[in-house]
Amino acid sequence: MRAGLYLHFPFCRAKCPYCHFASVPYAPPLHDEWRRGLEEEAALRAAPSLAPDTLYIGGGTPSLLGPDEVRDLLGLFGARFGLEAVEVTLEAGPEAADADRLEGWREAGVTRLSAGVQAFDDGALATLGRRYTSAEAVSFCLACRDAGFEAVGLDLMVGVPGETRGSVERTLERALRLEPDHVSLYILENVEGLPFAKVMNDRPVDEDEVVENHGRMADGLEAAGLARYEISNFSRPGKECRHNLKYWRYEPFLGLGPSACSRLGPRRWCNKSAIGAWAEALRRGQDPVEESRELDAGTAGREALIFGLRLVEGVDLRALEKRFGWDIGGRYAAEIDELVGAGLLLRDGLRLRVPAERMLVSNQVFARFA
């Protein structure tokens, strides 16, 4: 079972008001501090035998990295971890439309570009505080395709205040015209404590309409050949994100950078979120971990069940029981029977899965196994 490697790039040109990820506006001194810290953390975690086969560069806005720096990072990870990547994903914002830059990333080793578009509607983009138009987003995506990446994906969002059926259909139509290989479709939520909470309070959305718009988008994607394979993710055959599949299949991964999380062997940990605190710990030769937990077989098996049920394919209980060494199906027999009876789970022999029409309420399923 090969590990995945995640790198957190904690910078953006400007912080989006709805974003809850660990990121700050880009500044050269902070970037230099992050880069030095990354060298130190890679040395601290060095394990050439790890040999990860996927690398995901997320953020933040990793498209602020130039091709040369991406190439240097791949070299660093090859030396420290024996990286043998068959998939290298870079998250990119539509502001990075320069053809030379796109081709430079591909030549540096990036195989997969994930374009954080969110919408192809100017009203929605303005509400979200995005600094580009829908026309510029289309041009960016076309340039990504022309650059020759093995896969180009889009991030799209529904539940934006002020959206209408028409605006959602425009986004869907324009997205499909671009023939993406992959689409991640999210509902805007969890903005408590963020600047965008005021927007949501001032312009509340109708939850039933949000569900209808999400269903309309999901149906349109599937009709166009992008099959749903996870709650929020759709893909053409063979273009699923291998790195993210590692999370849902409960495979090992190592995270580097502030706020990055890891799970290797029986341990899970997350780094300090603040760049300064993370970098200072590394300068002192200390582990920059903020929280850590040892996972017993019971905890790991339960988590693997929950993560696996996010996938359309669901989970094979026999395989999980063999892997973790305990009777998961027996322990949760009553819960499984109740969920099947309520139509929240489908059971085919020892395989369990959440029905497609219940994916948006799957937290009701997960909560029963907590």
Q: Which helix (H) or strand (E) holds 263?
A: strand 261-264
Would you say the C-alpha torsion 166, 167, 173, 177 has a positive or negative sign?
Answer: positive
pTM score, whole prediction: 0.96
Per-residue pLDDT at 19? 87
Whether residue 187 sits in one domain with residue 47: yes
Whether residue 326 sits in one domain with residue 239: no
Whether residue 310 sits in one domain with residue 240: no
Domain of 333 in residue numbering reads as 297-367
* Residue 64 forms part of a structural domain: yes
Whether residue 217 sits in one domain with residue 331: no
What's the gap between Cα 209 and its chain centre? 25
* Residue 339 forms part of a structural domain: yes
Of 363, 368, 365, the residue nearest 346 (C-alpha): 365
Indicate the DSSP class of residue 178: T
What's the gap between Cα 7 and its chain centre? 12
Per-residue pLDDT at 1? 73
Indicate the DSSP class of residue 311: B
Of 246, 274, 250, 249, the residue nearest 260 (C-alpha): 274
**E-assigned strands of 87-232?**
87-92, 112-118, 151-158, 182-187, 227-230
CA–CA separation, 149 and 134 (whole Å): 22
Tens digit of pLDDT at every position of the chain (370 positions): 799 999 999 999 888 888 888 899 999 999 999 999 999 999 999 999 999 999 999 999 999 999 999 999 999 999 999 999 999 999 999 876 677 899 999 999 999 999 999 999 999 999 999 989 999 999 999 999 999 999 999 999 999 999 999 999 999 999 999 999 999 999 999 899 989 999 999 999 999 999 999 999 999 999 999 999 999 999 999 999 999 999 999 999 999 999 999 999 999 999 999 999 999 999 999 999 999 999 999 999 999 999 999 999 999 999 999 999 999 999 999 999 999 999 999 999 999 999 999 999 999 999 999 8
Q: Which structure tokens are listed for 21?
A: 């990820």
User: What CATH number is attached to the domain comprising 350?
Assistant: 1.10.10.920
* Residue 277 forms part of a structural domain: no
- Confirm if 248 and 311 have CB atoms less than 8 A apart: yes
Whether residue 354 sits in one domain with residue 238: no
The number of domains in the chain is 2
Q: List the alpha helices (DSSP H) in 238-284.
A: 242-248, 275-283
- Confirm if 267 and 294 have CB atoms less than 8 A apart: yes
Indicate the DSSP class of residue 109: T
Per-residue pLDDT at 100? 86
Per-residue pLDDT at 238? 97
Indicate the DSSP class of residue 357: G
Per-residue pLDDT at 96? 65
* Residue 123 forms part of a structural domain: yes
User: What CATH number is attached to the domain comprising 84?
Assistant: 3.20.20.70
Whether residue 306 sits in one domain with residue 218: no
